Structure 1
Amino acid sequence: MHTHSPIASQTDTVLRAENLNVYYGSFRALRNISLDIAKNQITALIGPSGCGKSTLLRCFNRLNDLIKGFKADGRVYYHAQDLYASEVDPVEVRRRIGMVFQKPNPFPKSIYDNVAFGPRLVGYKGDMDELVEQSLKQAALWGEVKDKLRESGLALSGGQQQRLCIARAIAVQPDIILMDEPASALDPISTLRIEDLMQELKQQYTIVIVTHNMQQASRASDRTAFFNVEENEKGGRSGYLVEYDRTEIIFQSPQQQITQEYVSGRFG
């Protein structure tokens, strides 16, 4: 089974999981995951509910650390740095590896203060007005909000709120943006705007997206990793990686029958 497709060697790998197992207490959520995330590409994680896609995403910026009973073995590398090494500061990890959640979650603050929040936290010394404007422009929101920066972020539509959350994530100038089903709460038009935005952002950032939407994965990503769940002997369920390759291969000529069934909707 080839989980490492040949393109990994030609591109820079920014994140790498090696034999990663994730446990919550005695429950093993992910089993032996190895995959490389390539720089300036959009990598989609797909698979049925409960296969550990979001768990893996949260391993990449150490958000799982906040969950009781979490432990991981194996390795997660960011560039060549082991993210779980004792000297690594999880807060710094989360600055470099930003996160956009499933439901838009702007802070109950002004649009301006939402974007400026992270930079202020990390002691940004540059021109804040300029940074806020640039971040909102990158998130394709500036034109809609430039005259109401002092109004609450919560007054925006769902699609605008999600773009505000993307602006907030990029304001701290991360390297990678993780997106956990960023469009699942949005209407089709807002969803396409987020997908277009991802294409622009990948010029500067590496993006990893969890999605349940097959069309979205096939339209928006460069590479796709398909995960599945299997029962173990104790009746628990663990997620594992079935296949990982260029998106067009996963959707048109996957190696595994089960991948073919999943992407064509005949699964489960």
Structure 2
Amino acid sequence: MATTPATFSTRPKDPQEDLMTSVAGEDQGTLPELPPEPVMEANKLNVFYGDFHAVHDVDLRFGKNEITALIGPSGCGKSTVLRCLNRMNDLVAGARVEGEVTYHGKNIYDRGVDPIAVRTHIGMVFQKPNPFPKSIFDNIAYGPRVTGMKVDSMDDLVEQALRGAALWDEVKDKLKQSAYGLSGGQQQRLCIARTIATRPDVILMDEPCSALDPIATSRIEDLMMELRSDYTIIIVTHNMQQAARVSDRTAFFTAKADETTGNRTGLLVEFDRTKTLFSNPSDRRTEDYISGRFG
């Protein structure tokens, strides 16, 4: 289970009706308008790649033990925002982040904050499964080993992580075999297990089901909803039905083109409870997107 550190060292015939029949959790209507216990916040977040202004003034709050979905058309900045949440954009040449991203009140972009430590507490699962060219066991043990995490038993930790990712029963007799021998869906669950092995507080997922078949996608979605009891999850998805099925809150992004250069800057249009955003959006742009009028 995650711990809280003190410091760092596809379009349907009737889209709206179909989406609303699958919104996750009947109790969402009781959720407050904004998360009461934000684990992370983005305040006036701006992202630049050289002179290109990729994301403009994003304000978001991510609630404890909630799943937040970031949706919107291609090029609207949602994956860029996700990568800001654990400083993955530090690895992109020419990227610059302005504003604040706080984790338990601490700005992760403050001078002296170690980005490796940030990524230990805020793990990430990528769009395409990316197991290491190692055994299943060594994939899970890799993070704890390289970060120097103190564990009583690596065997127990590996089992715990694989159980947490609903993969243990499928691989317990082949832990020494290459992770490349697993199916695509199993590889993605392995990557989730590898992420939770370092005991993060937050899990970021960048379109984790886009490369998977419907059965594997359903397994991952079920897993996300199970993991919510222990983690805060933030997911980027192009699949609005998926956002409706699994998330507690949804943020809708769009992009505005510069009249001079044609460059498109990502903007946050609306952030609300998932049930509210899909049934009664407050912005016409949101309604147009979820009804299939654009995007």
Q: Does 2:232 align with 1:206?
A: yes
User: In structure 2, how many angstroms separate the alpha carbons of the residues matched to 1:217 and 1:265?
Assistant: 15
Off by >6 Å, runs of 4+ in structure 1: none
SS of corresponding position for 1:94: helix
| RMSD over equivalenced CA pairs, Å | 1.1
Match of 2:292 in 1: 265
Match of 1:245 in 2: 272
Q: Does 2:193 align with 1:180?
A: no
Match of 2:138 in 1: 113
User: In structure 2, how many angstroms separate the alpha carbons of the residues matched to 1:227 and 1:41?
Assistant: 19
Q: Deviations over 1:47-74 (max 9, x none)?
A: 0000011100000000000111111111
Residue number among 37, 42, 63 corresponding to 2:62 in the alignment:
37
Residue number among 105, 127, 138 corresponding to 1:80 in the alignment:
105
Residue number among 225, 234, 247 corresponding to 1:221 in the alignment:
247
SS of corresponding position for 1:8: coil
Q: Deviations over 1:116-149 (max 9, x none)?
A: 0001111123210000000000000000000000
User: In structure 2, how many angstroms separate the alpha carbons of the residues matched to 1:264 and 1:198?
Assistant: 26
Residue number among 78, 85, 88 corresponding to 1:60 in the alignment:
85
Which structure carries more relative contact order (alpha carbon 8 Å, separation 6+)? 2
SS of corresponding position for 2:173: coil
User: In structure 1, how many angstroms separate the alpha carbons of the residues matched to 2:150 and 2:269?
Assistant: 46
Q: Which runs of 5+ in 2 are unaligned?
A: 1-30
Q: Does 2:176 align with 1:146?
A: no
Amino acid at match of 1:102: Q
SS of corresponding position for 1:203: coil
Match of 2:217 in 1: 191
Using the size of structure 1 for normalisation, the TM-score is 0.96
User: When the two structures are aligned, how many residues end up with a matched partner?
Assistant: 263
Q: What is the percentage of aligned positions where both structures have the same residue?
A: 62
SS of corresponding position for 2:123: strand
Cα distance, 1:260 vs. partner?
1.1
Q: Which runs of 5+ in 1 are unaligned?
A: none
